[in-house]
Amino acid sequence: MTPDYTHYSAGGQFMKPLSQRIHSFLSALFIAGLLICTTDSVVAQTSTPFRESSLSLIPADAAFFSSSLRMKEQLDIFLNSNAFQKIQSQPLVMMGMAQAQAMWQGDDDFQEFREIVEQPENQELIALLADAFSNDIFVYGDANVTSTISEVSDFYGFVYSVAFKDGAMNRRRGPASMDEETQLLLIREGKERLKRLKFPGIAMGARVSDADRVNRQIQRLEVLLRQLAARISAEEDLPFDPASLISRRNINGESHLTISFHGNLIPWDEIQREMNDIPAAAVADVEEILGNLKERSIQVTLGVRKDYLLLTISADDSLLNSLGEGSLLMDTDVFAPVNQHAEERIVSVQYVSEELASIFGDSGKSIEQMFDNFAQMLPALEIPEKYTQLLSRDLPELGDDLAELLPVFGRQLGCSWLTERGYEGYFYQRVDRSGLDSSAPLELMHHIGNAPLFAYVTRAVTPANSSELMDKWCSRTNEYIELGVADLEEEEGPQVRKLWNQIQPLFPRLGDAIRNDLTPAFKESQSALVLDGTFQRKQFHPMMPPSSELLTLPTPVVIQSVTSRSHVESGMSKVMSVLDDLLTIIRDSSPNAARDIPFETIPRPVQVEVDGGTLYKYELPPQLEVDSGIAPNAGLNDQVLVMSLLPEVTERMFAESAPKIPGPAGDLSQPLGSALWLDFEGCVDASLPWIRYGFSVAKTNYRDNMMVIVMAEQQTLSIVDLLKCFRGYSSASWIQEGDVVTHFELLMQDSR
């Protein structure tokens, strides 16, 4: 007699109203999750070099591939760690686990579910899942993924462009639906693209140690699906028998449970009869589209292949037949950078093909299309002809110029592995116009302080035609302003023209300062964003109760390398002069402006010579009563321009020092385009005094809730301290044979 597994998914005592079962159901999920995570019935960890991994299945023309490995090994590291022991010893966790165990063992609401879980066949299923998620899981897309996404993306762009213009025309004509000509254009374009469209093949898999166990569970699933199909057939009036979709098929020598769905099962004729608004000229095209869809098929397969449990979605058997056959991705030249790390304790591998990545990686193409669309809809907009003529000329050019400045991303490839101090890995991204310059070490790394909480340092490439583009678009902008001033002059009188004639000469002066002073002053193009954690006080404002320990004020710092200090000083002097003259023009424009602006020139900062350079700072008004060490400022010397809110931090950045940074970012001698460091442990250490301070204030203000506050403080401090297991993240990037290569390290440590 065939067992009826559907008993547990419909009817019976197990299915009660959701309002009565939601708490028990969530608790059961939690307990079942613990059973899966802590089960001992898993395979012993094994070494999985690429020849023994899922990469041995992946064809060379893959669109994408991603795998995770050594999950059991990583889970064991966590379960055997001091951090996990501390988590288990937390009062709230202990109480929650005790309650969950009591509910699981004694709550009648769980009895039937517990009986299901404890059945031998379901215990085997739990063991199978633990096994499958122990070593190697992956997802793969075949070459049809690329062509499908390309066709859909291009068609979407076509529809957007056509609808964009049609919408503009409708706006001119008044409320209206898409006209017949546009509908016909879209239908015929869709028909042609559908002819070229190939259904993408997707495979997901997991390495298993016992194929017989997997096949027993697949057989159980087949029985369940057939019983479900029989129930649906009895309850629903369908034009086909659902059971006919389910079959067992031998594909490439292996038995696979298959669910096949053919396009002719859908009642397309009924759908077509309901399409009343199709233009008469498009009826034949629609019939051709429906005929194409009728010939399409989709199949889902589940089975074991070369020690992998595989779930595939595809149009036919070609996906399964290609796995592990012919040329493989791992044997291609493009995969060579990752292959050199194959003997490491690999935990993840990622790959996106050049063809797939380029679909989404060229943002410049989208910019060009957007500006072209704007230009094409101009005739339908109600704007003066003189503006339309200028915009028709400028919008496509602006799109082209912007597109030339944006990077184009291509093939992506990377891997990471376990180390004694966390995770390490490499990521390779093909990039055209990356904007990075890795021709030399980042000298600015010597000006970020000894131990920053965060630092990102980069060297950029300035486009060769940047000056020409600036001149071009400043000139074009002036044309629009002249037209606008002429329009306003007719309405507002000669005062507008007078004001513009006074302001206009300021622009060449500003352009001169930028082109001849500030641009050469920062020619090196190294810049840094730093979060400094050295400024400490027990009280930053009188309204703050004094702290019993020093509190850290994390301070953002912006640093720019300086090629010529004299050019910086000259350029800023010219800019301030332009701003002074602009202020004078504004004050003289009306009596109200002179009254509302109390100063005649832009306030100058206080200039102070310090060790290593010159500080320019603005003292905050005394009435703010903030700590005297806080003052917006900029510092300048022959090497750097530093901007921050704390003069003492700015002064410290003048001094050259070797920062104490572990990992790839700490190699100060390597030529790099960028380096990044996050001291997460330092951020946690900086936050702990603030947390203790907050609870001390709460204890003072809410004495009646002292016990609750003390318990909350203990729990919070324990949890925050556990976060220090994540020490930090360090990475370095450089250009290598057209790739942006990023070497990264995620630093971990066990709780003390």
Q: pLDDT digits over 273-326, tens only?
A: 777 777 888 888 888 888 888 889 999 999 999 899 999 999 999 999 999 999
Q: pLDDT digits over 85-97, tens only?
A: 989 888 888 888 8
Kindly tell me if the per-residue pLDDT of 36 is higher than 60.
Answer: no
Look at residues 184, 314, 285, 703 and name the one whose alpha carbon lies nearest to residue 695.
703
The predicted model scores a pTM of 0.87
Alpha helices in 613-705, H assignment, sequence order: 647-654, 680-701
Encoded amino acid at 339, one letter: N
Kindly tell me if the per-residue pLDDT of 652 is higher than 50.
Answer: yes
Assign 249 to helix, strand or coil: strand
Burial class (CB in 10 A: 0-12, 13-18, 19+), 169: middle
Q: What would the two tokens of residue 112 be? A: 């039937």
Residue 594: which residues within 8 A CB-CB, separation 6 or more? 587, 588
Provide, for the chain, the percentages of residues in helix, strand and coil under a 3-state DSSP scheme, each rounded to the nearest 5: 55, 20, 25
Q: Which residue has the higher pLDDT, 52 or 49?
A: 52
The per-residue pLDDT for 106 is 77
* Long-range contacts (CB closer than 8 Å, 24 or more residues apart) made by 318-325: 318/201, 319/142, 319/201, 319/203, 320/203, 320/251, 320/252, 320/256, 321/251, 321/252, 322/59, 322/142, 323/57, 323/58, 323/59, 323/203, 324/56, 324/57, 325/59
Alpha-carbon torsion 44, 50, 55, 57, what sign?
negative
Q: What would the two tokens of residue 414 be? A: 């990377």
Assign 274 to helix, strand or coil: coil
The per-residue pLDDT for 555 is 97
Kindly tell me if the per-residue pLDDT of 12 is higher than 50.
Answer: no
Mean pLDDT of 99-124: 85
Residue in this structure with the two tokens 């060490």, named with its chain if needed: 629
- DSSP labels, 419-461: ETTEEEEEEEEEEES--B--SS--GGGGGS-SS-SEEEEEEBP
Percent of residues, the chain, with pLDDT higher than 90: 60
Q: pLDDT digits over 314-336, tens only?
A: 999 999 999 999 999 999 999 99
| Cα radius of gyration rounded to whole Å, the chain | 34
Assign 182 to helix, strand or coil: helix
69 strand-pairing partners: 136
The per-residue pLDDT for 236 is 84
Give dist(CA 409, CA 358) in Å, integer.
6
* Virtual torsion, Cα 82, 88, 90, 92, nearest 10 deg: 160
Look at residues 654, 462, 460 and name the one whose alpha carbon lies nearest to residue 557.
654
Look at residues 337, 300, 332, 306 and name the one whose alpha carbon lies nearest to residue 319.
300
